[in-house]
Chains A and B, each alone.
Chain A
Amino acid sequence: AQRVTQPEKLLSVFKGAPVELKCNYSYSGSPELFWYVQYSRQRLQLLLRHISRESIKGFTADLNKGETSFHLKKPFAQEEDSAMYYCALSGSAGNMLTFGGGTRLMVKP
């Protein structure tokens, strides 16, 4: 069975502070990991995926298979980063996603 855990429901930081949203997963095979973001009153959208290894809006995430983690990081948070962030996992059988519980990031001025 595949499972995604986001231990923090709410993360509040000040503008300019570093941010790390934690994500841990369990999956027996080789997973593909994603971060999705949902800004206020907008639809869920892909932020980044581990296979592309690119940085979107200053966010990065590294897949650590040893720790089964895929934490999302940004060195300097901006107010516009305030949103709901979901970590998700896709197994090999198509791109059905298993989501974590989500973390609400609040960036204060």
Chain B
Amino acid sequence: GAVVSQHPSWVICKSGTSVKIECRSLDFQATTMFWYRQFPKQSLMLMATSNEGSKATYEQGVEKDKFLINHASLTLSTLTVTSAHPEDSSFYICSASQQGWDTEAFFGQGTRLTVV
């Protein structure tokens, strides 16, 4: 199957700083990328959907100014957590799919963010 690479796998940052997480599709062009987060002992929750070249669509309750998503190319989407706080500590996972609603979504390995 296709490979989606997510970097970094884990990051620890100080409160108030910003953190960027990258999601790359290595062997296919991803017209759509999705960002999920998972709190401890909870399920994956969709944060936003990004389409290459356009603004991301955020789910209700997700602050677009805090979680900046950029999908500038067909192989790269980034999620920047701005002015991170301890409550932003979570597991963030991206998935990418090719064009078409019926295509499979492939997942990155996830990023564990800890804000201290």
On whether the beta carbons of A95 and B46 are closer than 8 Å, the reply is no
Q: Which of A86, A93, A94 has the most CB of B within 10 A?
A: A94
What's the dominant secondary structure at chain B's contact region?
Answer: strand
B residues bordering A, Cβ < 8 Å?
1, 4, 32, 34, 36, 42-46, 49, 93, 95, 97, 101-110
Once the chains are docked, how many angstroms separate the CA of A93 from the CA of B57?
Answer: 12
On whether the beta carbons of A99 and B44 are closer than 8 Å, the reply is yes
Q: Which of A46-63 contact B (CB under 8 A)?
A: 46, 49
Given contacts A42-B109, A96-B49, A101-B43, 7 further A-B contacts (CB under 8 A): A44-B93, A44-B107, A46-B1, A46-B104, A97-B95, A99-B45, A101-B42
On whether the beta carbons of B46 and A43 are closer than 8 Å, the reply is no
Min CB gap B56→A, angstroms: 12
With an 8 Å Cβ cutoff, the count of chain A residues facing the other chain is: 21
What's the dominant secondary structure at chain A's contact region?
Answer: loop
Q: Which of A4, A43, A97, A99 has the most CB of B within 10 A?
A: A43
Q: A44-B93, A45-B1 are in contact. Are A95 and B101 (CB under 8 A)?
A: yes
A residues bordering B, Cβ < 8 Å?
4, 36, 42-46, 49, 86, 90, 92-102
Once the chains are docked, how many angstroms separate the CA of A42 from the CA of B102?
Answer: 24
